[in-house]
Amino acid sequence: MTQVRPMRADARRNYERLLKVAAEAFAEHGEGASLDDIAKRAGVGSGTLYRHFPTRQALLEAAYVDRIEALAVRADELGEELPPGEALVEWLNELCVGTIQVRGMKSLLGSAVTDGSAAAVTACGTNMKEAAARLVEAAQREGTLRPDIEPIDVLRLAHGVATASELAKGDRSAIRRYVSLLTEGLRPAR
């Protein structure tokens, strides 16, 4: 398939420096961190940043792709350890907490689950959707999840809970309340 010729040594060095600096910058200043600043801090011209990462989303995704993959793997682990319903609840918990702790990841998750967005067909989006699908389908077979919920709904709602939690800033009890509310609402009608 897509024959990936190895990068030239300097290109690869720049690519990796950019990723490292970008992760720091997003963590520090949020998803809107200055791209020019990232290039400067990485010691490269701004054009180089654009050559490697044509859009802000591309950089965001590259900087966090390993965390996304870890979350997808975690879904499968939980699916093996716990009954389907509990696995989904626990995964949602970790997903929401993780999304809030790592600034910038929320917007990445968001664009991955936006309908009609070109970014929706990214590796990270597909990864997450497949992971969610496995947990969702198992829980629905078991009867512990509302049957009208689609995998992508779960991801969107996690994004919503993360957004609500951000509004609570320092309030640690709020996020716990919001996640529990989400998982309660996901249970089938009484």
Which residue from 24, 97, 138, 160 is in contact with its own copies, where contact means CB under 8 A? 160
CA distance 18 to 23: 9
Nearer Cβ to DNA, position 11 or 181? 11
| Phi, psi dihedral angles at 158 (to 5 degrees) | -60, -40
> Which of 119, 2, 115, 9 minimizes the C-alpha distance to 57?
119
Which residue from 3, 47, 116, 170 is in contact with DNA, where contact means CB under 7 A? 47
Both tokens assigned to 160: 């919503």
Asked if 28 is part of the footprint of DNA (rule: CB under 7 A), the reply reads no
Stretch that binds DNA, among 48-56, 70-78, 128-136, 168-176 (CB under 7 A): 48-56
Kindly state the smallest distance separating residue 43's Cβ from its own copies, in Å: 31
CA distance 169 to 23: 21
Per the CB < 8 A criterion, the answer to whether 122 and 61 are in contact is yes
Stretch that binds DNA, among 46-54, 101-109, 116-124, 139-147 (CB under 7 A): 46-54
Nearer Cβ to its own copies, position 42 or 182? 182
CA angle 50, 54, 59 (to 5 degrees): 90
Per the CB < 8 A criterion, the answer to whether 56 and 35 are in contact is yes
101 binds, among DNA, its own copies, none (CB under 5 to 8 A by kind): none
Kindly state the smallest distance separating residue 7's Cβ from DNA, in Å: 5
Asked if 171 is part of the footprint of its own copies (rule: CB under 8 A), the reply reads yes
- How many CB atoms neighbour CB 106 within 10 A? 21
Binding site for DNA (CB under 7 A): 7-8, 10-11, 14-15, 32-37, 43-48, 50-52, 54-56
